[in-house]
Structure 1
Amino acid sequence: MVSEANPLIKAKRRAGRVKRYVKRKVYERNIGKTYKAWLAEAELIHAGSTTHDFTISIIVPVYNPPIEFLDECLNSVITQQASNWQLIVANDGSTKPEVAQYLAAFQAAHSTDTRVRVVTKENGGISSALNEALSHAHGEYVGMLDHDDALDPRCIELFSQTIEAHAHPDAVYSDEDKLSPKGEHYDLYCKPSFSPELLLTQMYLCHFTVFKREQMNAIGGLRTSMDGAQDFDLALRLLPNLKNVVRIPLPLYHWRAWSESTALSIDAKPWAQESAARAQREYIDRTFNGGTVAPSHIQGLNEVHPRIEGTHKVSVIIPTIGTLNERGTSRFVDDAVKSLIENEHETTLEIIVVTTGVIANVEIADLKNHELKHVVYETKSFNFSEAINTGRAAATGDYLLLLNDDTTVAEANPVTKLLEIGQIDGVGVTGAKLTYPDSRFQHVGMVLLPSGPTHAWISKPNKEPGYFGSTLTPRNYAAVTAAAFLVRTSVFDQVQGFDVAFAKDYNDVDFCLRVREAGYRVAWTPYAHFVHYEGATMARKKTDQQEHALFVERWSTMLNNDPYYS
């Protein structure tokens, strides 16, 4: 195996990074032009020019906002292209006289419009105000609009079209951006498609989301104890009922960034993270009968670890050809097995070493509570998929961990961390974080591009947070690498294992896409962390062209439409 210290390898990887950087900058520039042109088209929209036969109720809690922001907020509803909206404004006991005066004038100006209602109540906090507004809502769907933000004039029309096109789903959400105090648009957030595992740690749905009013009322609306994270708490309580959720890939909500808004800084509402932690803790208590929630090293972000329910055996399948490690002191597979046994203390492992032909066994003096098996894979031409399937035939665990032999554990209990996510109902495959020996990212999920699948953020420094924190929290991807991923044994069998037509390339991506096709989600977690030396399992130089053609033929639609990358 060629060492990573080899100057040629270093030069190739550096050239690859430069190429990816240039491509990304060109892409970002083109996206920026498209974004600006789309924003400019809003000026051509005519208010009330379309309608639909159902209503979307917009509820706005108000407490002492700057009048110019409040005016822009409310008029962003009044001037919607579609007319099938209801606006309920709840003044939560604002103490600034100009707020009450403005709202009285606003109500008078729209006194003949039955869609508009302003209510005033004693101060009780944002959830109390939202619940008051909710009690006056009659729409099939309800969306929450903050008193200093604004909707794009196409918002209700595009939401209505989406609702009709998807047979009235449980929820619909859009992308969003931010508005500077000068009214400039920036910080476009292109969200993934519905990602329940991301919702464990981030209220990424946020702005703008509409839920069914009946479902909101069925769980008692918003909870005043969760003020600061009331929308996050609402989404987590609704989550078990959210079976059909649709994303609109356009920034239809403009989040105002100013001194009293978390759009500018989490410091504006320091209690919000505490409320989020309570909402998350209650969610994992309800769903997993416990777990832990604690602040992460990133301000505003909590680390969530659900309790693992039941007792599980994980069968670890490690294909190997017995390659020596870079130091020449032992084989990669010896290091991998030893590292796993020394660092996994909570989950019972059945480690299955699949050797290509007969090679010396891995010898471990103390297996602790784990098992170690050796299976010989006889072949004249190595086929990674066949090796994996051979390991499966010897496995007795209810989960399988596919693991390359050129990996070692970077942080304790990686299999347990994978199980935290892998046990969630609907999750079929869960991938791990992999870093190179120098700590740069090797794998933090995979994205599908027209040119083929690629690793997100590959070769970036380990401190890179990614796009809106994409490397920091569990989330969903279209695919993850089989260098380290967990799969339910039942799911592996349901999709008939790895396809042996992919002997060298794309076998893991093809497997993940077939798992998704079977109705399961593919997830990834940063909490399960391995070092990946990459390439010891099978020396490779370039992609197999026949396998590439087969992959493109089978998955061309997905290559142009990755639901988690936009």
Structure 2
Amino acid sequence: MSIRTSVKQMLVRQQDKKYEAELAKLRVTYAQWAAEQEKKIAETVVTEIGERAGLAEFVIYRQQKGQLAENAVERINAYFVKHPEAEIVYGDEDLLSENGERVIPWFKPCWAPDTYRAFFYVGSVVAVRSRLLQKLGEPGAVTEGESTGREIVFSKAEEIRPLMDRLFLAAGGFERGCHTIGHLEEVLFHGTFGTAGIGLQGPAETSREKAEDEQNPWEEYRTAAESAKLSVELAAKAAEEARELFARELRVSVIIPSKDNPSVLGKCLRSLTQRPEGSVPVEILLIDNGSNEENRKKTEQLVEEIRTAGTPIRYVYEPAEFNFSTMCNRGAELADGKLLLFLNDDIELCENDWLDKMVSRALQPYVGSVGLKLYYPDSVKIQHDGIVNLPVGPVHKLQFMEDDRSYYFGRNRFTQDCVAVTGACLLIRTEVFREAGGFREVLRVAYNDVELGFRLLEMGYYNVVWNDRFAYHHESLSRGSDESPEKMQRLVQERELLYQMHPQFRGEDPFYPKGLNREGLDSRVVPAYLTDRNVLQEPFWKRGLPGGEELQKIRRDNCLMARVETAGPERIQGYSVILGDDNACYEKHLLLIPCGETEGQDVWSMQLMPAYRQELEENLPDQKNVALGGFCVLREGEQLPAGNYTIAVLVVNRVSKLKLWNTTGKYLTVELPAAKE
């Protein structure tokens, strides 16, 4: 072996050691993270007890196999004292391994009535005020003068479910604008393996996904929610809903915006009309904002085919600039149905009873909009499963994930409440849509469906996504991978307008627990502790490239896989991986390359700090040292010339000095700072 080769190997080993040390600092186990959180909570509890003297009268119902967390009674009491309107409160939980280590956290949403109907997600510990128990004549209520926080133990979820159904009903949990059921976003219970009668083997920290899927220790909480186990009250309520559904003279007005897309539209219309007799009747309003003459004729032929087959359909041809909100509102103005179904022309419906299922839920007085799980065509790859609102903006969690297994406690299996559902398939009662004022036409292309969802929540309604029925969405899998600067700028502007309309939702989603990852944009739903050590990097842009070289003289190579997931006004976030090489040896730089009117001006660069991205090492097991391939750069405080920029990544091998670069397919628009008044 030559001296040169030996030196190179030694340098590579040094880089690998540095990588392992950095990885150890950024990677944290749930037990470590939980211990830090508990310390903070303990200090908070002492402060709150001192500031809020007083005792609430309540009873705690808890699972037998496990134990209440430290200070759980005090935390619950403090919550009830702070929230006098609350009648019921539940908390998060986790498991204790055989060696006593805390594993598998179960973080829960705010009160979600439709999720509760599908899945007893409140779980192993629920506290109920005595006054509610006394109101229902239930035994075990704490009376004045007795110690608060009496514990009632249950061994199986099915034992407690009927009582809980009655309590949540009595507390107004299935009414519009419920504020009497609270979620304490803290771990209040430590279960043991086999908590719900199901065994769990092996270290949960390394088999988390398997545990949550095949051996879910809380499996019985799901089965306890099946219709055969519903309480008398909820079963009667469900039967009443079904009777009301078929007693009304219902009609659903299906509103489909479409232009120059007759072939895909035909598939949509045929799937919509191929439903069995006895199904909820529909009328179709096809809103065309200016198809060319050839496509207009094809669409008219298609409309006549549907009309001849017996389905009422109206073709509204009104040439105008594209505005999705305006087209939908125009259809709603012409609709006669008691419910409105907004449908993209590239949706292909599946299963005969999908609409009846959606209608049965939309008729609930507390429900706003209802959506459907959407797949990419000819697959079980998820496109939509409810919208999640994160600090980077509204996203589709589980997008591109295969629907062949259960994710994070059945998120893709059970009916879920969420902040919004996609306008590609959205059902709503006509009276509710008009009460809300329709779609906001200032949001011409994007986020109009999210804005409607936010508004419905503010009005006290719940938005629901059905997960046991699906449709195909013939949206390109690569759509948005190479947007123009103009489209990116419009998207950013409409997102900012969304949050100007609803500032309280900026970065907030009550149905997406704060214990789950809110910074990363990988499609999975995973606990936040996995990336808790990542640092949001301050911007420090320098004119030119490191070393002063010209970009044209550096090799552009697709072996550098560079992706940007968001390039908004708050941050630039993404990851990069060098395929086929040791990533520990590379220094990475983010590049902004002027484009459009500013093309040819100076490139700007900044060295990237590594961020831990667990999914990279999971998804690229054949690549070396990729877990620290993430990055997240804040926008606030950056000093850049106004203009449009192509975002790229440059990497430099510290050992061989090899330099490579590649674009990310994303753009950034820097605007002039607003003038001071």
One fold, TM greater than 0.5?
Answer: yes
Cα distance in 2, alignment partners of residues 418 and 526 from structure 1: 11
3-state SS of paired residue (1:453): strand
Structure 1 residue 554 corresponds to structure 2 residue 501: yes
Task: Show the counterpart of 1:446.
Answer: 387
Structure 1 residue 234 corresponds to structure 2 residue 172: no
Q: Which amino acid aligns with 2:77?
A: S
Identity of aligned residues (%): 23
Q: TM-score, normalised by structure 2?
A: 0.58
Give 1:261 deviation, angstroms.
Answer: 3.7
Task: Show the counterpart of 1:88.
Answer: none
Q: How does 1:3-402 map to 2 (within 5 A)?
A: 34-39=33-38, 50=49, 55=55, 140-221=57-138, 228-243=157-172, 244-258=180-194, 261-262=197-198, 264=200, 273=223, 277-280=227-230, 282-289=232-239, 308=245, 310-311=247-248, 312-324=250-262, 331-343=263-275, 345=277, 346-357=279-290, 359=296, 360-361=299-300, 362-364=303-305, 370-379=311-320, 381-402=321-342
Could you report, residue by residue, the CA deviation over 1:248-301 in whole angstroms, capped at 9, with x for unpaired residues? 11111111224884474689998994795433273443113268xxxxxxxxxx
Cα distance in 2, alignment partners of residues 494 and 49 from structure 1: 41
Give 1:53 deviation, angstroms.
Answer: 6.1
Distance 1:183 1:409, change over 3 A: same
Between stretches 244-253 and 162-171, larger displacement belongs to: 162-171
Give 1:34 deviation, angstroms.
Answer: 3.4
Give 1:204 deviation, angstroms.
Answer: 0.7
Aligned 8 A contact 1:228 1:269 in 2: no
Distance 1:268 1:167, change over 3 A: closer
Between stretches 419-428 and 221-230, larger displacement belongs to: 221-230
Give 1:372 deviation, angstroms.
Answer: 1.3
Give 1:364 deviation, angstroms.
Answer: 2.6
Structure 2 stretches of 5 or more lacking a match?
Answer: 1-24, 141-152, 173-179, 201-214, 514-677
Task: Show the counterpart of 1:124.
Answer: none
Q: Which amino acid aligns with 1:148?
A: K
Cα distance in 2, alignment partners of residues 563 and 32 from structure 1: 25
Could you report, residue by residue, the CA deviation over 1:88-134 in whole angstroms, capped at 9, with x for unpaired residues? xxxxxxxxxxxxxxxxxxxxxxxxxxxxxxxxxxxxxxxxxxxxxxx
Cα distance in 2, alignment partners of residues 432 and 462 from structure 1: 14
3-state SS of paired residue (2:438): coil
Aligned 8 A contact 2:89 2:181 in 1: yes
Distance 1:167 1:408, change over 3 A: same
Aligned 8 A contact 2:64 2:154 in 1: no
Cα distance in 2, alignment partners of residues 169 and 45 from structure 1: 20
Q: Which amino acid aligns with 2:423?
A: A
Residue in structure 2 matching 1:518, options 459, 462, 474: 459
Aligned 8 A contact 1:174 1:252 in 2: yes
Structure 1 residue 531 corresponds to structure 2 residue 475: no
Could you report, residue by residue, the CA deviation over 1:207-236 in whole angstroms, capped at 9, with x for unpaired residues? 221112233344454899997512222222
3-state SS of paired residue (2:63): coil
Give 1:500 deviation, angstroms.
Answer: 0.7
3-state SS of paired residue (2:508): coil
Q: How many residues in Structure 1 have an aligned counterpart in Structure 2?
A: 437
Cα distance in 2, alignment partners of residues 161 and 270 from structure 1: 30
Distance 1:522 1:273, change over 3 A: closer
Give 1:201 deviation, angstroms.
Answer: 1.6
Task: Show the counterpart of 2:574.
Answer: none
Cα distance in 1, alignment partners of residues 474 and 396 from structure 2: 15
Task: Show the counterpart of 1:294.
Answer: none
Distance 1:274 1:559, change over 3 A: closer
Distance 1:279 1:225, change over 3 A: farther
Aligned 8 A contact 1:227 1:272 in 2: no
Aligned 8 A contact 2:362 2:428 in 1: yes
Task: Show the counterpart of 1:425.
Answer: 365
Q: TM-score, normalised by structure 1?
A: 0.69
Aligned 8 A contact 1:476 1:524 in 2: yes
Task: Show the counterpart of 1:490.
Answer: 431
Aligned 8 A contact 2:66 2:195 in 1: no
Distance 1:412 1:192, change over 3 A: same
Cα distance in 1, alignment partners of residues 64 and 155 from structure 2: 19
Give 1:46 deviation, angstroms.
Answer: 10
Q: How does 1:448-487 map to 2 (within 5 A)?
A: 448-487=389-428
Distance 1:272 1:204, change over 3 A: closer
Cα distance in 1, alignment partners of residues 340 and 170 from structure 2: 29
Cα distance in 1, alignment partners of residues 432 and 27 from structure 2: 38
Give 1:416 deviation, angstroms.
Answer: 0.9
Distance 1:461 1:307, change over 3 A: farther
Cα distance in 2, alignment partners of residues 418 and 548 from structure 1: 28
Give 1:448 deviation, angstroms.
Answer: 0.5
Between stretches 511-520 and 342-351, larger displacement belongs to: 342-351
Structure exhibiting the larger radius of gyration computed from Cα positions: 2
Aligned 8 A contact 1:447 1:478 in 2: yes
Give 1:40 deviation, angstroms.
Answer: 5.5
Aligned 8 A contact 2:384 2:398 in 1: yes
Distance 1:306 1:560, change over 3 A: farther
Could you report, residue by residue, the CA deviation over 1:152-198 in whole angstroms, capped at 9, with x for unpaired residues? 12212222222122224121111111122322211101101000001
Task: Show the counterpart of 1:111.
Answer: none
Cα distance in 1, alignment partners of residues 252 and 31 from structure 2: 46
Give 1:421 deviation, angstroms.
Answer: 1.7
Aligned 8 A contact 1:385 1:500 in 2: yes
3-state SS of paired residue (2:421): coil
